């Protein structure tokens, strides 16, 4: 039996003088997909940031691949290089002089200082393969700031797949995508997850997608309100508990 990739124990995080996340505990089994759902301001992104060591914890422990996250958010380099992250957006205002291939190349490089000409051939080959696998090879010379939302998200997956990793964290990665782009992104994510053996933790508002793709759902509203399989957690009663009485959940019959 595989040991869990991520263990979160009794995690609390304070932001602006109030507890944004309170006593949250869960585990991510290896090669599973877990969704974090909940209303706006429920602490979903704060939880993810604390797990990645980007925000200080008030209490609790986080272990990634068996290694504890230090109090100042540090992890050994070999563990850190096993983590991939897809944020909601990139700061690409105006013309950003960075090509798609260059960006993906930064996903290949290990943490720490590095001369730009090191491992040049191996790096170039990894970039080409990653772009090919995500259907972005024709975009390699485009500027990152020239891409559409859907293209940018697929390029971000190229960044993740350019070197082998174990844990993929997505923070509302589908935000702003239209329906066809979202569908294409989901299909690509599922395909890469199977090929790479990724363990996935993603924050999402798309409950239909969560129901279809996740093995485990965490319902968060500052505290963990519910957790378990999608069928167990995404019930009308639990969704009303989580989002409030104004939510009217319904289920597509074709998925039922």
Interface residues with other proteins (CB under 8 A)?
A: 49, 52-54, 73, 75, 77, 80-81, 83-85, 87, 89-92, 94-99, 102-103, 106-107, 109-116, 135, 138-139, 141-144, 148-151, 169, 171, 180-181, 184
Q: Nearer to other proteins by C-beta: 74 or 195?
A: 74
CB of 214 to other proteins, least distance (A): 21
Which residue is associated with the tokens 């989580």?
A: 242
CB nearer to other proteins: give 143 or 240: 143
What's the CA angle centered on 92, arms 15 and 112, to 5 degrees?
70
How many other CB atoms sit within 10 Å of the CB of residue 114?
11
Distance CA 148, CA 177 (A): 9
102 vs 241, beta carbon nearer other proteins = 102
Q: How far is the CB of 195 from other proteins (least distance, A)?
A: 20
| 51 token code pair | 């797990």
Nearer to other proteins, 113 or 256 (CB): 113
Return d(Cα 43, Cα 135) in angstroms, integer: 34
Closest approach, Cβ 177 to other proteins, in A, equals 9
CB 152 → other proteins: shortest distance, Å?
9
Which H helix or E strand runs over 59?
Answer: strand 59-64
Contact 90, 152 (CB under 8 A): yes
């Amino acid at each position: 039996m595989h040991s869990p990739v991520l263990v979160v124990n009794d995690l609390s995080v304070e932001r602006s003088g109030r507890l944004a996340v309170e006593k949250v505990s869960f585990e991510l089994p290896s090669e599973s997909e877990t969704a974090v759902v909940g209303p706006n301001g429920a602490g979903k992104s704060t939880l993810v940031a604390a797990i990645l060591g980007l925000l200080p914890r008030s209490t609790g422990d986080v272990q990634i691949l068996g290694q504890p996250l230090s109090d100042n958010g540090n992890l050994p380099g070999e563990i850190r290089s096993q983590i991939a992250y897809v944020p909601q957006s990139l700061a690409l205002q105006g013309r950003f002089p960075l090509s798609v291939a260059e960006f993906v190349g930064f996903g290949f490089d290990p943490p720490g200082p590095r001369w730009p000409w090191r491992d040049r051939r191996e790096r170039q080959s990894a970039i080409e393969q990653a772009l090919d696998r995500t259907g972005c090879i024709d975009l390699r010379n485009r500027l990152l700031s020239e891409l559409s939302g859907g293209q940018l998200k697929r390029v971000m997956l190229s960044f993740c797949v350019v070197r082998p990793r174990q844990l993929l964290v997505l923070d509302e990665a589908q935000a702003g995508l239209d329906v066809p782009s979202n569908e294409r992104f989901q299909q690509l994510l599922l395909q890469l997850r199977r090929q790479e053996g990724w363990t996935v933790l993603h924050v999402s508002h798309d409950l239909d997608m969560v129901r279809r793709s996740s093995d485990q759902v965490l319902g968060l509203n500052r505290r963990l309100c519910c957790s378990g399989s999608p069928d167990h957690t995404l019930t009308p009663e639990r969704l009303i508990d989580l989002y409030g009485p104004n939510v009217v959940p319904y289920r597509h019959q074709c998925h039922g």
